[in-house]
């Protein structure tokens, strides 16, 4: 049996990555969402105990993590962010691999990984056939984030500036889906990328 093509989809905050993955799902492609896997893992007993041990008991209420409290702890602390990653990432990668195996009959499988490039493409323990980057310039990201989260320009700018720049990410991408336009334009670009893959 021919092996599935594994395509990583990445982007940055408010770049429109979810628009791409939602469209792919509408087209009946399998999309593995690393954020959903992460949310599941972070409420498993083994992970709960480690997070309580390193970050404090008060982060959990009735077994459910206060994600915003944890985010505020790691936001400007690289060491703590790396510590959290060391707890969760091996389990996330394992689940992604299991899902890929589950979908092995599919011609193409997409894996949605927001921080793929920041973490290093090889750190996921798998080889991606292609990396698709959903791109938007910084001002577009800021405008969208302000609207989506009802936050100030300065706070939106701070959140975006804390991530690797889109211009840097472009260097690692095989396909760049420019999402500075409207949704129909983005869908056309996705269809063109799919047609090339399916040849």
Alpha helix segments (H runs only) across the chain: 17-26, 34-41, 45-55, 67-74, 78-102, 116-119, 138-149, 153-161, 166-169, 183-198
Q: Does 19 show up as a binding residue in the annotation?
A: yes
Q: What does the chain come to in residues?
A: 199
Q: Does 122 show up as a binding residue in the annotation?
A: no
Contacts of 88 (CB under 8 A, 6+ apart): 38, 41, 42, 47
CA 27/CA 195 separation, integer angstroms: 13
Q: Does 63 show up as a binding residue in the annotation?
A: no
Q: Does 71 show up as a binding residue in the annotation?
A: no
Q: Does 141 show up as a binding residue in the annotation?
A: no
Binding residues: 14-19
Binding residues for ATP: 14-19
């Amino acid at each position: 049996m021919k092996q599935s093509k594994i395509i990583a989809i990445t982007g940055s905050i408010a770049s429109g990555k979810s628009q791409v993955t939602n469209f792919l799902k509408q087209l009946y492609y399998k999309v593995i969402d690393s954020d959903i896997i992460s949310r599941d893992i972070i409420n498993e007993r083994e992970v709960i105990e480690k997070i309580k041990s390193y970050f404090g008991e008060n982060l959990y209420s009735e077994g459910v993590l206060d994600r915003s409290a944890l985010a505020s702890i790691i936001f400007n602390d690289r060491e703590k962010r790396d510590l959290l990653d060391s707890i969760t990432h091996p389990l996330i990668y394992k689940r992604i691999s299991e899902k890929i195996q589950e979908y092995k009959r599919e011609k193409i499988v997409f894996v949605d990984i927001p921080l793929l490039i920041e973490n290093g493409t090889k750190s996921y323990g798998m080889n991606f056939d292609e990396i698709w980057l959903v791109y938007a310039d910084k001002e577009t990201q800021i405008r969208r984030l302000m609207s989506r989260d009802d936050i100030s320009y300065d706070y939106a700018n701070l959140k975006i500036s804390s991530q690797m720049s889109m211009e840097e990410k472009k260097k690692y991408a095989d396909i760049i889906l420019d999402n500075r336009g409207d949704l129909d334009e983005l869908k056309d670009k996705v269809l063109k990328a799919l047609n090339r893959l399916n040849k």
